[in-house]
Structure 1
Amino acid sequence: MQRSLKFVKHLPALGVECTVITVDPNKGAYPVLDHSLAAEIPPSVRVIRTDTSEPFGSYKKITGRQQIPYGGFANESKTSFQQRFFKFVRGNVFIPDPRRGWNRHVLRAVADLLAQGETFDAVLTSSPPHSTQLIGLALKKRYGLRWLADLRDPWTDIYYHKELNQTPPARWLDAYYERQVLEQADEILVTSPDTKRLFLGKSPRLTASKFHVLPNGYDESDFRIRSTPPTECLLITHTGTISETYHIELFLKACAECSQRHPDVPLRLRFVGKVSDGVRQQIEENNLGSQVEFISFVPHEESVRYLLRATVLLMAIPDVPNNFGILPGKVFEYLAANKPIICIGPVGSDADNLLEECGAGRALAYDAYSAMLEHLEGLIAQWRKNSNLDLPALNNTRYSRKALTQQLVQLMQTK
């Protein structure tokens, strides 16, 4: 959502007239909503909000849950029979995903625009949900429109795909859709080099020149406020969703040991966003309850403020297949905050390489307890000398949303 919104925000200033087709928020269902971001849509951008047809209303009624699942049921840690059943239905009935019911509403809206004599130089479809890419495929086949497919995550290689328990016919159909999109799109946009590698291996008809690594980024206007790290404690902040699959239990243990070794340095942790029950239990098991603050979902602007009020930022990569290509959008906002970054995840991954390139930190392997402890003690030693550990101002403008949108415009214009 951030990626598409920021493209739309900057495209008009770069000479591109935009029409956005999206879901009416009163008709769709989402785990969370941030209405404040609508203020970033330029007045010149036409936004068409459509109806949708999706199963999430029925899901909530049957399960009695107030919140719908995140992708891959990431916000549901229980493995009850009911959850396994819904995962099976998700994987075998709704292919490639339950959002596919929106597609016919979009295609009708586009047909209406074209019937009125409107013309378009390019179409950009962004996913997940990867069913959105089938819209681009249909528009390409029906109207011959130039089509850029923006795939922010892997498709059949996404980390939770095996948990969907697909039957062989369902797996075949899902892979067929993926291959059709990759072969028929004029350009493929991905967010990391490893994701490009995964997609490039899907068909012998694909060439590397068709793929473009256009990472996520940060919006410079979001970081005009001043950094104010606390002076009374060393505060480590994590923003976003985190669950047991991120394997931060040894990092939490290292935090607890450092607190015992260095009682003169108040070590605090702050989690802003969704924290699973399993991670909360790990925090309690390490007797860190009194040192941890939980903040529920907040609007994006407020999330940025929490970054700038931290001493150090914590990022974790889920311990899942193909995680070397996971490059979370928030890492670029972490970089823009100019704070030291502790990354728990695979060494040598795209995220690790990015942090090293920018001088913001390195990845620490999930089982590297000694390295975690050593790194934390180094930060504590620095904090004793100066509670402000902000990094020297680095030139990361190549990852600004405006610079990345300029690259997108060039791809739109390429024939």
Structure 2
Amino acid sequence: MEPAATPDTHNVLFLTYYWPPSGGGGVQRCLKFVKHLPEFGITPTVITVDENQASYPILDQSLLAEVPDNIHVIRTGTREPFEFYKKLTGKKDIPFGGFANTGKENWKQKLFKFLRGNLFIPDPRVGWNRFALDAATKVMKRKPIQAILTSSPPHSTQLIGLKLKKKFGLKWIADMRDPWTDIYYYQDLNHTALAQKLDASYEREVLENADAVLVVSDDMKRLFLQKSASLDPNKIHVIPNGYDEADFVHPSTSSSEEFIITYTGTITEAYNIEGFLQALCETVTRNPFIRYKLRFVGKVSLEVKRQVEAAGLPLITEYIDYVPHEESIKYLMASTALLMAIPDVPNNFGILTGKLFEYLAANKPIICIGPIHGDVDRILDECGAGRVFHYSGYEVILDHLLQMSKTWKINPNLDLPIINYTQYSRRALTEKLAALLVS
């Protein structure tokens, strides 16, 4: 039952396609915002897609338990082409945004990718828009709404906010977790010139009409500011992803028997970890009396598995498929060190996944393979939580691993002292969002 509106609360309409039981990092941002907003006098009403009709690459039923009982969630229908994709390709899984889980592509998958890039603009989930727009309009007729927040990807969700803004004139905040036309796999979608022009016009119109735009990194802000000369830099606010303190109640259980390096989440060859793998192999060779384990928890592409084998690491590597969020945190807490990687693609200086902040909260040393002097590099340095190594930095990665191994021999607990990461708690970040919503 929908809770009654009260005069002393600020009512916000929160539109997001990804919502429990969908899994993945984007769900965490939306879920935690909604969880903490009532603490700041804001009552969110969530509009999302019916889980039985949604096209979710990953499911995590455990996240349903985290949705507060007093939050009204409206689930709508949708019309999307992914059933056609599964029939066309014979694949059972829905592709990720960057088609990270498609493996080697056949002609059918290439055809679908072309159709995705040119018939469904901005993306195939645009078929949800008319259902969500209708649901939002009905809510606004029933009770007063002071603001609208649309979270993407899929960036088609922002077009719902654009229409609601034009129709009702309410404050509209566009929360964009990823770049739009600058996303690293954009060129792989084989847009025609006409499709690119239309997509860019949608992006520019959203940026110009939203009252505020949220991004997760400074570099993303820079990218979006280039889209229109009329954009005020003060309109774009950086609120990064974060960690929820309630998720980190498990104690550290790092092993004294094994040196365990853990990676959680999706990883493909675009992340370019070959230099790290080679350095780890040499580290293992030079330390025959240390038992090493490289653990991947999540979706790992076939090419990355091939790279692991080519580096001579198959016997020490463990693959664990996607697990519920709480279980993935337990794997973090049972690790010696944590591996992170940023895709080796253009415009990657501002890629800041939620994984980074959960890694910080785990208090383990972080080994990040990515661009030097990017936003991740700055945060790791600020928090004293680890180092970023360039993709081609084999020698420095090797030296770092050898030094860590030497330290581990003396004391197998490499957990960090208390580090300065509390500003990235989900509650602290939601407080910043609340200030924008009521201003």
TM-score interval (norm. to shorter): over 0.9
- Amino acid of the structure 2 residue aligned with 1:139: L
TM-score by length of 2: 0.93
Once residues 31 and 41 of structure 1 are traced to their aligned partners in structure 2, the CA distance between those partners, rounded to angstroms, is 20
User: Given the alignment of the two structures, is residue 213 of structure 1 paired with residue 238 of structure 2, yes or no?
Assistant: yes
Q: Indicate the residue corresponding to 1:67 in structure 2.
A: 93
SS at match of 1:4: helix
Partner of residue 362 from structure 2, selected from 324, 333, 337: 337
- Amino acid of the structure 2 residue aligned with 1:243: T
SS at match of 1:95: coil
User: Given the alignment of the two structures, is residue 121 of structure 1 paired with residue 121 of structure 2, yes or no?
Assistant: no
Partner of residue 339 from structure 2, selected from 291, 295, 314: 314
Partner of residue 265 from structure 2, selected from 230, 240, 261: 240
Contact 2:385 2:419 in 1 (8 A): no
Q: Indicate the residue corresponding to 1:302 in structure 2.
A: 327
TM-aligned CA deviation for residue 79 of structure 1: 3.3
Contact 2:88 2:108 in 1 (8 A): no
Contact 2:366 2:386 in 1 (8 A): yes
Partner of residue 368 from structure 1, selected from 386, 390, 393: 393
Contact 2:350 2:376 in 1 (8 A): yes
Once residues 268 and 110 of structure 1 are traced to their aligned partners in structure 2, the CA distance between those partners, rounded to angstroms, is 49
- Amino acid of the structure 2 residue aligned with 1:61: K
Partner of residue 141 from structure 1, selected from 130, 155, 166: 166
User: Given the alignment of the two structures, is residue 52 of structure 1 paired with residue 71 of structure 2, yes or no?
Assistant: no
User: Once the two structures are aligned, what percentage of the paired residues are identical?
Assistant: 59
Q: Which runs of 5+ in 2 are unaligned?
A: 1-26
- Amino acid of the structure 2 residue aligned with 1:119: P
Q: Indicate the residue corresponding to 1:189 in structure 2.
A: 214
Q: Which runs of 5+ in 1 are unaligned?
A: none
TM-aligned CA deviation for residue 83 of structure 1: 2.0
Change (3 A) 1:395 1:358: closer
Once residues 136 and 284 of structure 2 are traced to their aligned partners in structure 1, the CA distance between those partners, rounded to angstroms, is 59
Q: Indicate the residue corresponding to 1:325 in structure 2.
A: 350
Q: Deviations over 1:44-71 (max 9, x none)?
A: 1100011111111111112111101000
SS at match of 2:104: coil
TM-aligned CA deviation for residue 96 of structure 1: 0.2
Once residues 229 and 306 of structure 1 are traced to their aligned partners in structure 2, the CA distance between those partners, rounded to angstroms, is 9
Q: Indicate the residue corresponding to 1:13 in structure 2.
A: 39
Partner of residue 108 from structure 1, selected from 116, 134, 139: 134
Once residues 303 and 396 of structure 2 are traced to their aligned partners in structure 1, the CA distance between those partners, rounded to angstroms, is 24
SS at match of 1:73: coil
Q: Deviations over 1:261-298 (max 9, x none)?
A: 11011111100000110111111112211101110000
SS at match of 1:323: coil
Q: Deviations over 1:328-367 (max 9, x none)?
A: 1100000000000000001001011111111011210000
SS at match of 2:386: coil
Once residues 321 and 77 of structure 1 are traced to their aligned partners in structure 2, the CA distance between those partners, rounded to angstroms, is 21
Q: Deviations over 1:20-59 (max 9, x none)?
A: 0001111112111111111111111100011111111111
Q: What is the root-mean-square deviation of aligned Cα atoms in Å? A: 0.8
Q: Count matched residues.
A: 413
Once residues 210 and 355 of structure 2 are traced to their aligned partners in structure 1, the CA distance between those partners, rounded to angstroms, is 27
Once residues 141 and 395 of structure 2 are traced to their aligned partners in structure 1, the CA distance between those partners, rounded to angstroms, is 65
Q: Indicate the residue corresponding to 2:112 in structure 1.
A: 86
Contact 1:12 1:45 in 2 (8 A): no
Comparing 34-43 with 293-302, which one deviates more in the overlay? 34-43
Partner of residue 3 from structure 1, selected from 29, 41, 48: 29
TM-score by length of 1: 0.98
Comparing 328-337 with 391-400, which one deviates more in the overlay? 391-400
SS at match of 1:181: helix
Q: Indicate the residue corresponding to 1:223 in structure 2.
A: 248
TM-aligned CA deviation for residue 258 of structure 1: 0.9
TM-aligned CA deviation for residue 133 of structure 1: 0.2
SS at match of 2:242: coil
Once residues 173 and 34 of structure 1 are traced to their aligned partners in structure 2, the CA distance between those partners, rounded to angstroms, is 34
TM-aligned CA deviation for residue 164 of structure 1: 0.9
- Amino acid of the structure 1 residue aligned with 2:274: E
Contact 2:371 2:390 in 1 (8 A): yes
Contact 1:12 1:44 in 2 (8 A): no
Once residues 98 and 250 of structure 2 are traced to their aligned partners in structure 1, the CA distance between those partners, rounded to angstroms, is 36
Contact 1:269 1:291 in 2 (8 A): yes
Q: Indicate the residue corresponding to 2:428 in structure 1.
A: 403
Once residues 151 and 202 of structure 2 are traced to their aligned partners in structure 1, the CA distance between those partners, rounded to angstroms, is 15
User: Given the alignment of the two structures, is residue 158 of structure 1 paired with residue 183 of structure 2, yes or no?
Assistant: yes
Q: Indicate the residue corresponding to 1:391 in structure 2.
A: 416
Q: Deviations over 1:289-308 (max 9, x none)?
A: 11011100000000000000
